Amino acid sequence: MFKKILIANRGEIACRVIKTARKMGIRTVAVFSDADRDALHVEMADEAVHIGPAAAAESYLVIDKIVAACKATGAEAVHPGYGFLSEREAFPVALAKAGIVFIGPNPGAIAAMGDKIESKKAAARAKVSTVPGHLGEIGDPKEAVRIAREIGYPVMIKASAGGGGKGMRIAYDDKECEEGFASARSEAKSSFGDDRVFVEKFIVNPRHIEIQVLGDKHGNVVYLGERECSIQRRNQKVIEEAPSPLLDAATRKAMGEQAVALAKAVNYDSAGTVEFVAGQDRSFFFLEMNTRLQVEHPVTELVTGIDLVEQMIRVAAGEKLAFRQADIKLKGWAVESRIYAEDPYRNFLPSIGRLVRYRPPREGSSGGLTVRNDTGVTEGGEISMFYDPMIAKLVTHAPTRAAAIELQAEALDAFHIDGIQHNIPFLTALMQHPRWQSGNISTGFIKEEYPDGFAPREAAGDQLRTMAMVAAAIDHLDNERRRRISGQISGTPVRFAASRVVRLAGQEVRLTIDGGGAKPFVITLPGDDAGREQKTEVVSAWWPGDPVWTGRVGDRDISVQVRRILNGANLAWRGISVDAHVYTEREAALVALMPEKVAADTSKLLLCPMPGLVKAINVTVGQDVKAGDALCTVEAMKMENILRAERDAVVKAVNAKPGDSLAVDAVIMEFA
């Protein structure tokens, strides 16, 4: 076994590998760029080596710097994580020349499967079901349109060296095909240094299901069940689960055996993933093979009990797999949410900045329930524009799918992040979505269910009353705290009225509140149609300043995000976000007379939705534009975002040019 390994990566996957290496008694070496000097993976590793500027092309993607770091520290092997150099054939070749072991598949397997065009040809030879398409390299937009017409729309334009949703576009007509070809090619060039793209048929209403395979250097290959990754945004996975609610035992076996056949055909000898696109009828077609550890590997680890990073290390050291296919059993259900630095209220555009607060839920296992949080950040750290915007992966495991989803919802409610925008509000709302809970999903889920963008769930019924009671409990505790301030003018003690009016979500909830101090609050709501009052006991150890109110309302344990606003608090729970204000009856009557402030009209402005670099301006002053026309392209976090006209208009002014770096909400252009 190795005594020291180097992790040629950053962020949560570097931290993840370090944890397993520690468990195995292996010392670790981290590498870091200028932007990651104070990163968590640098702090966790036994040693760390600086490898260059912030840009990945000058640090994490430079093979010679990784090899030099290995030689300087005496690292015997390298784990590549995912992304960066993990699927570059040249990387293990260079390591081997330097006498360093690559903790991953052999170069031949990477060459055969790492290129999406060649991998489809190999899959066809191995008699694996493949999607109809054109497997050759495409030279220009006109050729892409011609091929798309032959295949039949819709089609998927994909970068041959792509991954992580980059360099991928869906086209439903000739215009989208031309635009998508240019955009996919440009994005592929900047992300992977390889601008080759191909076209294949896009399966309508598809599901994304992948099989985890694991091979050793002695010819043994097994599959560890499947993961479903159908909840995607812009071809980027957002939610993953294992097993899939679609598959039955027969389909699982058929997919697993095809995945193993393909792996054996290319002498695969590490952890890898064979991805399939599946129809709702359980038909399936080979999509690609990722010759590395997947981002979503934790769900497989939780349902199989197998540490995939440990197996990769053991296989690289020459050990045989300690189990056979018959030994692989799936237990329970696991759900993973990817927590990104992005703004769900602004079409999920990237957000960068400092993590002023970062308080994940408590990890651990109890009563058959497990909460796990894989992350590479700490409070006070910075989300940089140079790398992927993922903050953490929150994973839950329970005996059933419904229980795993409920546990995930509870954990998301308790996950507090401040200082940047993030997608937790969307994830918490999604966990309550009936279609997601039913398992009737597809890769078009987000586009279909949120066609006009994401908005918080509306509070109503019991949910509205629950949040009103939490707001009243917070207000009452604040009042109690004020009573205990020292140095107050003596006299008759201040008594706060028990009757309260809580205004939230455009509605009023009238209640009375008693108790406090060492006793639970008892909140009474008005009578129902039969005239019966509802009394609810509210218990919590929350104290002003805590970012999450955790307690019990009636017979239910809940966690509510609390952010102070003027004369109240913003409360977020189960995808519902409301500004809550608690008044006396007299105050409520006066507030009702106050005029409301109207937001400024920005309907005639195109604002930059995130900090980024202007790549292209597609219109000129005086030009008529139609709804949906491309106005400009802004690049942020290695993703090119085409900003389109929301309605028909005339361009009045253009305030930016290609090459400009813009801040969020900067005015790019104005319309007449």
Helices 90-97 and 63-73: crossing angle in degrees, nearest 10, is: 30
- CA Rg value for the chain: 27
- As a whole number of angstroms, the distance between CA 232 and CA 269 comes to 29
pLDDT of residue 71: 97
Q: What global pTM score does this model have?
A: 0.83
Mean pLDDT of 34-43: 95
Express each pLDDT in 411-442 by its tens digit.
999 999 999 999 999 999 999 999 999 999 99
Report the pLDDT value the prediction gives residue 460, as an integer from 0 to 100.
Answer: 86
Residue 528 has pLDDT above 80, yes or no: no
pLDDT at 1: 96
Q: What is the mean pLDDT of residues 90-107?
A: 97
- CATH code assigned to 605-671: 2.40.50.100
Which tens digit of pLDDT belongs to each residue from 453-481? Answer: 898 888 888 999 999 999 999 999 988 88
pLDDT score of 2 more than 90: yes
Average of pLDDT values for 373-381? 96
Mean predicted confidence (pLDDT) in 39-44: 97
What percent of the chain stands above pLDDT 70? 99
Please write the tens of the pLDDT for every residue from 337-375: 999 999 898 778 788 889 999 999 999 999 999 999 999
Which structure tokens are listed for 668?
């790019």
Angle, vertex CA 618, rays to CA 613 and CA 622, nearest 5: 125
Fold classified for 338-433: D-amino Acid Aminotransferase; Chain A, domain 1 (3.30.470)
CA-based angle 40:41:43, to the nearest 5? 65
User: Residues 187, 200, 210, 288: which is the catalytic one?
Assistant: 288
- Specify the pLDDT at position 347: 78
Distance (Å, whole) CA 4 – CA 645: 54
The residue assigned the tokens 């790019």 is 668
For residue 195, the 8-state DSSP code is -
Give the pLDDT band (50/70/90) at residue 530. Answer: low
Span 132-201 CATH architecture:
2-Layer Sandwich (3.30)
Average pLDDT (228-243) is 94
What stretch of H or E contains 291? Answer: none
> Of 5-14, 44-53, 369-378, 567-576, which range is least confident?
567-576
Coil, strand or helix at 29:
strand
Q: Does domain 461-483+496-591 have CATH number 3.30.700.30?
A: yes
Amino acid identity of 604?
Answer: K
Residue 298 pLDDT greater than 80, yes or no? yes
pLDDT for 329 beyond 80: yes
pLDDT at site 531 = 63
Q: Is the pLDDT of residue 59 over 80?
A: yes
With CA atoms as reference, report the closest residue to 296 among 180, 369, 208: 208
The predicted pLDDT at position 529 comes to 61
Predicted local confidence at residue 636, as pLDDT: 84
DSSP run (H or E) holding 134? strand 133-134
Assign 384 a pLDDT band (cuts: 50, 70, 90).
confident
* Mean pLDDT score, 318-328: 97
Answer yes or no: 76 catalytic.
no
Domain range summary for the chain, segments of one domain joined by +: 4-103, 132-201, 338-433, 461-483+496-591, 605-671
Q: Give me the architecture of the 4-103 domain, per CATH.
A: 3-Layer(aba) Sandwich (3.40)
